[in-house]
Chains A and B, each alone.
Chain A
Amino acid sequence: MSGTAGTSGSGDPLWLKFLPSASIILLLCIWEIAVRVGHVAPIILPAPSAIVSYLVAMIFDGTLPYHLGITFMRILAGFLVSGVLGILLGVFMGMSRIVARVLDPWIAALYPLPKISLIPLLIIWLGTGEAYILTISAITAFFPVVISTFAGIRQTDQGLIRAARDLGANERQLQIKVVVPAAMPSIFSGLELGMGVTIILVVAAEMIGGSNQSGMGFLLIRFGQVMETEKLFAALIALAVFGGVVMKTQKRIEHWVAPWAAGNM
């Protein structure tokens, strides 16, 4: 998912290729100069140089690796559960009209519900500990995955199905050898969508409950409350880079598992 795929080409002149990086550097320079010249209080807007020095310090004292690691484990645990369940249920729905009819109203009713609105209820049921965060993490990705899987299975190219039948495939073989592989691109797009929302929801859950006092969400809230704005910015940068790396890695894994399905990298 390269955001600049449509705008950058190999035939661009040199200055155009450097324009994206140049614009970032220019903005940072203006920011730095404005803060220094205008004597802006660091609590409101710290200088980029100060943010970077805090970022480096927090990496080396272990704060960021620790909390980022915990957040990552929570995302991964929930995502694996919802991914596996979502794919399985989506496949069953695609294969069996009965399963589809039974599950469809539930999914239709629950999918539009913002999962974040379940947080108060989950806190009543599960408290503010690990169980609550993991539950949020596991609920979030389930819907995009199950819906995309189901859609992918239903939209299998009829030509491929007819060709497979003509070549002697029975119904079971048709599902396993044709329908599921044909649905892989949809399943992947569901997983990508699911990962995006899981990152959001886990960080949000850590902000709101989080009695364990750990994770990036907890860190952000704490820095905000004590107005350590430099650290807040540093944590945000770490989270942004983390999100990018996770999504990119997911793409790579998909490409490795099923090169035909995983579009362009």
Chain B
Amino acid sequence: MDIYVEDLVQVWADRGEGVRALDGITHHFPSGKLICLLGPSGCGKSTLVQIIGGIEKATAGSVRVVAPGGSEQDSAPPGARSVMMWQGLNLFPWRNVIDNVAFGLEMAGMSRQVRYARARELIATVGLRNFECRECSHLSGGMKQRVALARALIMDQPILLMDEPFAALDAQTKIVMQEELTRIFVKMRKTILFVTHAIDEAILLGDEVVVMTARPGRIKEVIKIDLPRPRSQEMISSPEFGALYDRILHLIREEVLDAMRQQDEAFVQ
């Protein structure tokens, strides 16, 4: 699914005199690609994916989701063709693994037999076979991530939105989850928008890295990542990776400094 975002503006009216979170974002997120949104904290990258996911309503501007080759009339409203994997995961603590994964199908009114069969497949896909009946509170951080991923994948939506899902993981688990995501992406060929603030993660995962400015959020630059897939951690030491890293670091450094300046000013006030 191609995602067209046009002149997207988001103003938080309830915070003081109004905070401009997004300031005229226009971009085409191409179908079947993994696109990383990179920017300093508070730059509105989470807000952007939440608007695309139909979770937040934009103050102004439009989001259109169109199947490749489809016409204007076929465009779906935000959220109708996407599912979110949340920063805090938001697993339901009172449900075990399989009932968390099958939640969406249960809401759609599918019988227990049908939804459990499908849930088992996806639990196997994310590598959690035999953990179906485990309580989520008894799982490690990485396993919870897998549950959240399976719960999103079961919705069978063409667009997967991921809001810094791996931010809280330890370094080793993060590497494993990045490889898992890449494997699933190659297998399922969804359009994935992946929010992150880690440059190496963005290069390792993305077909395209969208670098955003400090608040108010705009798109600073879009960088194509042509590294061959499958990618692995060893690539981090390659010269191509290094060149991309330096380039993005240079872009993002200015914005991080700008964001820090904004925070200092807010603190003084």
Interface residues in chain A, defined as those with a beta carbon under 8 Å from any beta carbon in chain B: 157, 159-160, 162-170, 173, 177-178, 181-182, 184, 258-261
Contacts and interface: CB of A to CB of B under 8 A. Distances in A.
B107 A169 contact: yes
A167 B107 contact: yes
A162 B90 contact: yes
Q: Which of A165, A166, A169, A177 has the most CB of B within 10 A?
A: A166
A159 B227 CA distance: 36
Interface of B: 53-55, 79, 83-84, 86, 88, 90, 92-94, 103-104, 106-108, 135, 137, 151, 155
Given A181-B94, A260-B94, A260-B135, A166 B88 contact: no
B94 A167 contact: no
A261 B94 contact: yes
Contact of A166 (B84, B94, B106, B108): B84
Contacts of A164: 92, 103, 107
B94 A168 contact: no
A159 B50 CA distance: 12
A160 B92 contact: yes
A153 to B, nearest CB: 14
B155 A167 contact: yes
Given A166-B53, A167-B83, A168-B155, A160 B90 contact: yes
Nearest to B161: A166
A204 B54 CA distance: 57
Contacts of B104: 167-168
Contacts of A178: 92
A146 to B, nearest CB: 22
B104 to A, nearest CB: 4
A260 B99 CA distance: 14
B107 A170 contact: yes
B151 A258 contact: no
24 contacts: A157-B90, A159-B86, A160-B90, A162-B86, A163-B84, A163-B86, A163-B90, A164-B107, A166-B54, A167-B83, A167-B104, A167-B155, A168-B108, A169-B107, A178-B92, A182-B92, A182-B94, A184-B94, A258-B94, A260-B93, A260-B94, A260-B135, A260-B137, A261-B94
Given A163-B84, A260-B135, A177 B90 contact: no
A178 B106 CA distance: 13
Contact of A167 (B54, B93, B103, B137): B103
Residue of B54, B107, B135, B137 with most chain A CB atoms under a 10 A cut-off: B107
Contacts of B155: 167-168
A167 B86 CA distance: 12
Contacts of B83: 166-167
Contact of B107 (A159, A177, A182): A177
A260 to B, nearest CB: 5
A181 B107 contact: no
Interface centre among A164, A169, A259, A260 (most CB of B within 10 A): A260
A61 B30 CA distance: 85
Contacts of A173: 107
